[in-house]
Structure 1
Amino acid sequence: MNVLVVNAGSSSLKLRVLGEDDTVLAETQVERWSGGDETGPLEDFLAAAPAVDAVGHRVVHGGPEFTGATAIDDDVRTRIEALTGLAPLHQPRALAGVDAARQLLPGVPQVACFDTAFHSTMPAAATTYAVPAAWRRKWDLRRYGFHGLSHAYASRHAAELAGLPGARVVSCHLGSGASLAAVADGRSVDTTMGFTPLAGLVMATRSGDVDPGLLVWLQRAGLPLDDLEEGLEHHSGLAGLSEVGGDLRDVRKAAANGDEHAVLALRVYGLRLRQGIAAMTASLGGLDLLVFTGGVGEHDAELRADTAAGLAFLGVDLDAERNTGADSRISTDGSAVAVWVVEAREDVEIAAQTRALLNAPDRKP
């Protein structure tokens, strides 16, 4: 089964056709895609790509309802659209991708694969906010978690490579957005993001965890709500700390030149990351396997080394000579915790979920 994977980001569109053995048969990335009714990029791609048997779409938010891959029809599309308020940057783009694919490939099965679904296995203790019960019931307030497609693939693939079935894994998805997942025997039991993708680690331009009382104070001090949202989403994180931008490479260059703001940014970023990994380890009751993935996780050897050095108390011991490349072990042979770098392959996870749903023996035609 050839699967077209449609990954619509907040401003980009990634398209990839995977064959039955996950060989990449065709791919392209549109850096600036407006969404809406714009079908041109997908139409051009399909004209040159091999025929596809199914389409798998990445959808960021499944809310409390969608806890697994779901075949898309008009009703499902409407229910996904109803969740737009929970992911206003990403949900409309995903739906634009769905609409374009359904228009250009009528009759081809379309499947929604949700980033939140992987975390639906988290226990109530990990998902429940200590806020008034009336609020929780009225607005379905809970921790959902995100980057689930990446965490699912990275934790499973790393366990396979390491020969550690049933391992206690902390998966580190580090990119422009960043989150951790605690995975026990293939199931998510905790994660750092929450009701929205703003929570948890320091990110490129997102704040991560902030004292809610501080936000209330800012509102009372007169900061408009729109400015508060804009600041937390687009001007915080590494960008807000360093004042040179959210790209970790630029922050490192500035720090190397003595910029004190950049130096502080690196320290805050690294400390929050180590704290998060330790917290995920507590949720697991121990740690067998630590996995780095995502653009930063795969390519920043210095970050991996610094993180490992700060986690020596957990038994993490990195091998400096191995600390390069993807899909490789970078810990020493004697390390109590195996440390691996895994290439981010959300597309493989989406294709696998799409095939599993469509090949299910009890699926209705």
Structure 2
Amino acid sequence: MYILIINSGSSSIKYQLFPRDSDQPVCSGLVERIGQDNSQVTHEIFRADVAQTLKLDQRVKDHETGMQLLAGLLTRKDIAVIADPAQIGTVGHRVVHGGETLTEPTIITADVKAKIKALYPLAPLHNPGHIKGIEVAEKLFPTATQIAVFDTAFHQTLPEKAFRYAIPDKFYREDGIRVYGFHGISHQYVAGAAMTWLKNPVAKLITIHLGNGCSMAAVSGGRCIDTSMGLTPLDGLVMGTRSGAIDPSVLLYLQQQKGYTAEQLTKLLNKQSGMLALTGHNDMRDISRLYHENDPAAKLAYELYTYRIKKFIGAYTAALNGLDALVFTAGVGENDALARELVCRDMEVFGIHIDIAKNQLREKGLRDLSAGGSSARVLVVPTNEELAIARVCRTLVAEGHPNLESS
């Protein structure tokens, strides 16, 4: 039997298929640039430590199409890794927003799906895609147990002074308006890997997850004490299509003076802002190419993007009262040397010195990019949210969760 992990991002689906008793996947894949004309599917199969890679260039119009495509690849005759969908006993789903009620991994029931749907307004780019992924997975793998693991769970350790907003108390007590934080599965995974590598279980870390969505976390001894995203994944850093932090008066001005509706503002801030608004592109690979071609819009975008990150580093170093390591992760954090260099430039006051030559090397695995004299390590730690979710699913199944009796 196998565990299939589905990790739906705002414009991508990552997946891995694991044997129930192993951390080594039999295949993995990425459906990226969903909804764009240049969508791409990368599917890797691992046999006897040898990887076979299949790339497909075809338009993937939405997450449902992507889910159907990946399911077909698992059983496609020439590259099949399973003979029958019934061999998948568990499907683990990353779910971005669990609110204050869904704070632990849970078997997916009709009630759980209803709660995830109720949180659509707080994660409009993600939770609808998760539900679609869950519903398609239920059809494609009808005998499997579906499990949800929530991105917000790791941030439940935030102290109240960090998660409360300075608005009337009733909005928190009655409506749950507070900082939730996101990318928690990734932040927790890379923080754990960094602490192990540092041989320091009480390390003070700033984890920096940079993908199409971007967030940071201040982690002390494995516990998150602050994070950049807030009530929704919109707050904090500049992202692919999201604005990040913005003066609320901008929204009031657009509403009162320009006639924008709430729906238009939601679309503006979530899908038409960020790097897309600054450059016309939301993929950092395209923007990096333009930067190196001396495109002024790309230059400004990189400076603005990394400046916001630098400000959070300062704030979180103060919150932690020190810093043992910066940890870069996710697609941009792991692969974009320019972004890492600009973030670490002129940060000597925090003991941060990056080795420019090491930073340019395209290596895999955990790596230390620190220059001599750096009191704070500069690490790249590849995230593996799928493995983290698989381990959670394995534990939940092994513990004989009550809901499994009907599975």
TM-score by length of 1: 0.91
Q: Is the 8 A contact 1:16 1:347 kept in 2?
A: yes
Offset of 1:343 from its aligned partner? 1.3
Q: Is the 8 A contact 2:4 2:17 kept in 1?
A: yes
Q: Is the 8 A contact 1:38 1:100 kept in 2?
A: no
Aligned to 1:261: 297
- Structure 1, unaligned runs of 5 or more: none
Query: What per-residue deviation string (whole Å, max 9, x for no partner) do you get for residues 29-85 of structure 1?
Result: 344263569974354244333433322111111011111211122222222222222
CA separation of 1:55/1:204 partners in 2, compared to 1, >3 Å: closer, same or farther?
same
**d(CA) in 2 for partners of 1:28 and 1:278?**
36
**Which deviates further from its counterpart, 152-161 or 165-174?**
152-161
**d(CA) in 1 for partners of 2:291 and 2:71?**
45
Matches within 5 A, 1:8-27: 8-19=8-19, 20-27=21-28
CA separation of 1:33/1:235 partners in 2, compared to 1, >3 Å: closer, same or farther?
closer
The correspondence for 1:138, drawn from 160, 168, 174, is 174
**d(CA) in 1 for partners of 2:307 and 2:100?**
32
Q: Is the 8 A contact 1:37 1:96 kept in 2?
A: no
**d(CA) in 1 for partners of 2:127 and 2:158?**
23
Q: Is the 8 A contact 1:11 1:33 kept in 2?
A: no
CA separation of 1:306/1:344 partners in 2, compared to 1, >3 Å: closer, same or farther?
same
Aligned to 2:72: 44
Offset of 1:90 from its aligned partner? 1.6
Q: Is the 8 A contact 1:176 1:204 kept in 2?
A: yes
Query: What per-residue deviation string (whole Å, max 9, x for no partner) do you get for residues 171-218 of structure 1?
Result: 000111111011111121110000111110111221111011121122
Check if 1:187 corresponds to 2:226: no
User: Which amino acid in the other structure matches residue 102 of structure 1?
Assistant: E
User: Which amino acid in the other structure matches residue 26 of structure 2?
Assistant: L
The alignment's C-alpha RMSD in Å is 2.3
Check if 1:82 corresponds to 2:118: yes
SS in 1 for 2:356: coil
Offset of 1:104 from its aligned partner? 3.4
Question: What's the % identity of the aligned pairs?
Answer: 40
**d(CA) in 1 for partners of 2:68 and 2:401?**
36
Offset of 1:362 from its aligned partner? 7.4
Check if 1:355 corresponds to 2:384: no
TM-score by length of 2: 0.82
Offset of 1:247 from its aligned partner? 3.0
**Which deviates further from its counterpart, 291-300 or 104-113?**
104-113
Offset of 1:232 from its aligned partner? 1.5
In the alignment of these two chains, the number of paired residues is: 364
Query: What per-residue deviation string (whole Å, max 9, x for no partner) do you get for residues 157-177 of structure 1?
Result: 122223222211110001111
**Which deviates further from its counterpart, 206-215 or 306-315?**
306-315
**d(CA) in 1 for partners of 2:356 and 2:294?**
25
Q: Is the 8 A contact 1:72 1:112 kept in 2?
A: yes
**d(CA) in 2 for partners of 1:333 and 1:204?**
33
SS in 2 for 1:120: helix
Aligned to 2:369: 330
**d(CA) in 2 for partners of 1:362 and 1:271?**
46
User: Which amino acid in the other structure matches residue 235 of structure 1?
Assistant: Q
The correspondence for 1:232, drawn from 269, 284, 288, is 269
CA separation of 1:138/1:87 partners in 2, compared to 1, >3 Å: closer, same or farther?
same
Aligned to 2:42: none
CA separation of 1:184/1:2 partners in 2, compared to 1, >3 Å: closer, same or farther?
farther
User: Which amino acid in the other structure matches residue 257 of structure 2?
Assistant: A
Check if 1:305 corresponds to 2:341: yes
Q: Is the 8 A contact 1:12 1:33 kept in 2?
A: no
Q: Is the 8 A contact 1:162 1:338 kept in 2?
A: no
Q: Is the 8 A contact 1:144 1:194 kept in 2?
A: yes
Offset of 1:235 from its aligned partner? 2.4
Aligned to 1:28: 29
Aligned to 2:105: 69
Aligned to 2:43: none
Check if 1:128 corresponds to 2:128: no
**d(CA) in 2 for partners of 1:227 and 1:331?**
44
**d(CA) in 2 for partners of 1:336 and 1:250?**
34
SS in 2 for 1:221: helix
Q: Is the 8 A contact 2:10 2:212 kept in 1?
A: no
Aligned to 2:47: none
User: Which amino acid in the other structure matches residue 335 of structure 2?
Assistant: H
**d(CA) in 2 for partners of 1:140 and 1:319?**
44
**Which deviates further from its counterpart, 3-12 or 344-353?**
3-12
